[in-house]
Amino acid sequence: MGNMRAFLEQAYGKYYAEKYLAKSDDPILSTEAGYANVVYGARAFTNILWSGNTFAVLTKDAYNKENPDGMRLMYATGTKATGIQENAALPDTDKPDVLEVSVGFKEIVTAFEVSNKAILKARNNDYVDLIYIFEVEGELHTAGMNDMLLEDADTLAGYDLESIDRVTISEAAVTALSYTAGDNDMYSLDIGTYTWFDPITDHNSGTDREWNFGYFFENSGAVRNNNGIVTKGITKPDTYGQMMASAQIQARYNPSGFTYTATEEGPKAVSGGEIGYAVATIDGCPIFQDPGVQADGIGRLYLLDDRDMFGSPTLSLNIASPTKLTTANNAVLLDALKEKSAYDTSAELRCRSRFRQASIRDLKAASL
């Protein structure tokens, strides 16, 4: 996969690796018609990387020559091996079947304005802390991207980021749950035709059923049957609480707490006394919490395989440009006495092996 740290150092400056912030000396001069201050963009982007939500939990890779617009998806391996008689002729050759798919990236923007009068009051009259406004708008920008990643499968992404709910909903589930036909299609692939790109969805046709660990093991086994391995789970805090509470009353099972620390590529397990966020694991799979996860009775559980495959992760946030802040204050061009600013991020949720991703839906709290 792409080296995200090197990618972010290039975007934000050479001091990123030490301080996770951009160039610190970037004064705003009175003679400038407009300026670009990357510090706030870096702060907004790294804050969400370290937050422990879905944006942070997903593996990251860089949009570059190694990971450009297109993906090659192999959906048939061809002949694996053939036994032959001694001195027999070589067998016929065969090749894998490959489909090229264009993914590209989305441009996500949060724009805001501050009037010249408000700026002058802020400087002289304790009116508002403009630095606080920049921080808040940055948090809103990154929180909005996290919301996109958790959008319900019945909402097409359009110009937003794709969601893991759509990544993990199957053709059969769309029909059983009365979603609009095609809501599960991604990257212009009709899953009715390209059935090999269909994920695993455990549902109950819209009728909620009590949580039990069987759902996890059954679906992680289904991922394994598709030559995948569930490397992480994401769910809502209420489902996480159900999992932990039901585990406590089973003597044969006791969840182990592991500490994970945030990195540019995603969370990594740490040992010893290193600082991070603690998560429970089921059968070695860490389960992360995000309040924004879609819920039926209680939150859905996403079981994801984001291992490296032929140099790229099977599921990742592909980052073309990390969050940056651009501000302009030219009154003539803006046709008003104000400053206009925008945070923007260019990225997309990229899934190369959708049949290795799973979701468990239609859950409700169990009687414990």
- Could you read off the pLDDT of 207-260 as tens digits, one per residue? 999 999 999 999 999 999 998 999 999 999 999 988 888 776 554 444 555 666
Dist. CA 331–CA 170, nearest whole Å:
52
- Choice among 21-25, 194-198, 362-366 with the minimum mean pLDDT: 21-25
Sign of CA dihedral 168, 173, 177, 183: positive
Band (pLDDT 50/70/90 cuts) for residue 270 is low
If one counts every other C-beta atom within 10 angstroms of the C-beta of residue 196, the result is 17
Q: Quick one: pLDDT at residue 136?
A: 86
Q: Answer yes or no: are the C-beta atoms of 103 and 70 closer than 8 Å.
A: yes
Q: What are phi and psi of 169, to 5 degrees?
A: -110, 130
Dist. CA 12–CA 40, nearest whole Å:
10
Dist. CA 276–CA 157, nearest whole Å:
32
Mean pLDDT estimate for the chain:
82
Sign of CA dihedral 338, 131, 133, 53: positive
Whether this model's pTM surpasses 0.85: no
Q: Which two tokens stand for residue 6?
A: 């090197």
Helices (H) and strands (E) in the chain, counts: 11, 19
Look at residue 312 and tell me whether its pLDDT is greater than 50.
yes
Alpha helices (H) along the chain: 4-12, 16-19, 38-49, 54-57, 116-124, 130-149, 164-167, 171-176, 213-225, 237-248, 331-334
Q: Quick one: pLDDT at residue 251?
A: 40
Q: Quick one: pLDDT at residue 167?
A: 94
Look at residue 264 and tell me whether its pLDDT is greater than 70.
no
List pLDDT tens digits, range 142-186. Answer: 999 999 999 999 999 999 999 999 999 999 999 999 999 988 898
Dist. CA 114–CA 329, nearest whole Å:
10
Q: Quick one: pLDDT at residue 128?
A: 62
| Residue recorded with tokens 């009728």 | 207
Q: Which two tokens stand for residue 255?
A: 């969840």
List pLDDT tens digits, range 316-360. Answer: 999 988 888 888 888 888 888 888 889 999 999 999 889 999 999
